[in-house]
Structure 1
Amino acid sequence: MMKRLLLATALTLMAAGSAMAQTVVIVRHAEKADASSDPVLSELGQRRAMDLAVALSDSDLTHVFTSPLQRTVLTARPAAEAHAINPEAISFEGGTEAHILRIAERIRALPADAVVLVVGHSNTVPLIARALGETGSSEMAECEYDRLTVLSVEDDGDSPAVIGRYGAPANCEQNISG
């Protein structure tokens, strides 16, 4: 309950920060069932996806972007369904850098009042935040599934962020990396 309250407060503060700012929530996909190239979510990952939907239930979510891999789509699905949104999978064609640029371009093309969820990977979440103007995001550990970054994407290119956590604390000893 406290985490949900903190997230709601962060979303409210970010949205109130500027009339011309988009609110972007960036998370890594939830825990994977195995180490295959395109796994589904584990039971713990499915619970985390539901926790994300609960954390975002009071938001005015308008758009959801994922990578084309199952683990990101499955992580986003409960939140997207709760807001009657069809998630948009952004291709990896051209590599990781092209993927990140496409996500940033799609977000910047949205209305100023958009509230966006992006579900990425440990190697893309910090890069997506930086592409949107956030300067303080740190790299993600391979086992970090509970980080939630909320950005206020400003017209001037500066995007202040609030970093929080959601769901059960990530347990690096029990999770499969990647």
Structure 2
Amino acid sequence: MPRLLASIALALTLAGCATTPRTPDTTSVTFIVIRHAEKVDASRDPDLSPAGHARAQALAASLGERELAAAYATEFKRTSQTLAPTVQARGLAITPYPAGQPATEFAARLRAAHPRGTVLIAGHSNTVPDIVAALCACAVAPMADYEYDRMSIVRLDADGSARLDVTRYGAPSPAP
């Protein structure tokens, strides 16, 4: 009988461990860096095209229920429009940053402001690779002008080590 009680107690203890909610990771920060979605034309500050709005929705869907600590977009409409579905679903404001700010300065600002959590950043084909490289201290491939589906995920651990994962979201970017 004592063995049976011990077995039941062990089973209940293990079952309790299996259902215990995971504690959020508070020792690292994740930066998700994307380029704005497809634009309606080549003017200086265009809106998103219908394909761009679809990609913005795809971004929100790809992030699912992921909690965000902050969201950043340049002063151009297309970057904030790309983040809009994601931030609206979370009741989060977009923090603007100047597109021309040097990537190393912007990355330092991000790291100082966000020691943990997940931060979403929208930039441009000529700024995203430099921002990602400055965040991870690693080599990053250039971004073609027609590439809209790249999502760079930089995770900085508490010890300062960085990992870069590059994935795709939404419809594949059409080749020229």
TM interval, short-chain normalised: 0.7 to 0.9
Whether the 8 Å contact between 2:136 and 2:164 is mirrored in structure 1 is no
Shift of 1:161: 0.8
The match for 1:61 is 68
1:27 partnered with 2:27: no
The match for 2:120 is 117
Letter in 2 for 1:162: D
1:127 partnered with 2:130: yes
The match for 2:153 is 150
Residue of structure 1 aligned with 2:86, choices 79, 84, 102: 79
1:132 aligned counterpart, secondary structure: helix
State the Cα deviation string for residues 38-66 of structure 1 (Å, max 9, x = none): 00000000000010011112211110011
CA RMSD, Structure 1 to Structure 2 (Å): 1.8
2:152 aligned counterpart, secondary structure: strand
Whether the 8 Å contact between 1:33 and 1:40 is mirrored in structure 2 is yes
Answer with 1 or 2: which has the greater Rg: 2
Structure 2 distance, partners of 1:131, 1:60, is 24
Query: Please, what TM-score do these two structures have when normalized by structure 2?
Result: 0.80
Whether the 8 Å contact between 1:150 and 1:162 is mirrored in structure 2 is yes
Structure 2 unpaired stretches of 5+: 1-23
Shift of 1:145: 0.2
Letter in 1 for 2:34: V
Structure 1 distance, partners of 2:44, 2:121, is 20
The match for 1:43 is 50
Shift of 1:157: 4.4
Structure 2 distance, partners of 1:78, 1:90, is 19
Whether the 8 Å contact between 1:104 and 1:132 is mirrored in structure 2 is yes
Letter in 2 for 1:124: T
Letter in 2 for 1:47: A
Structure 1 unpaired stretches of 5+: 1-14, 174-178
Shift of 1:68: 0.5
Query: Please, what TM-score do these two structures have when normalized by structure 1?
Result: 0.79
How many residues end up aligned between the 2 structures? 153
The match for 1:11 is none
The sequence identity of aligned pairs, in percent, is: 36
Structure 2 distance, partners of 1:111, 1:67, is 18
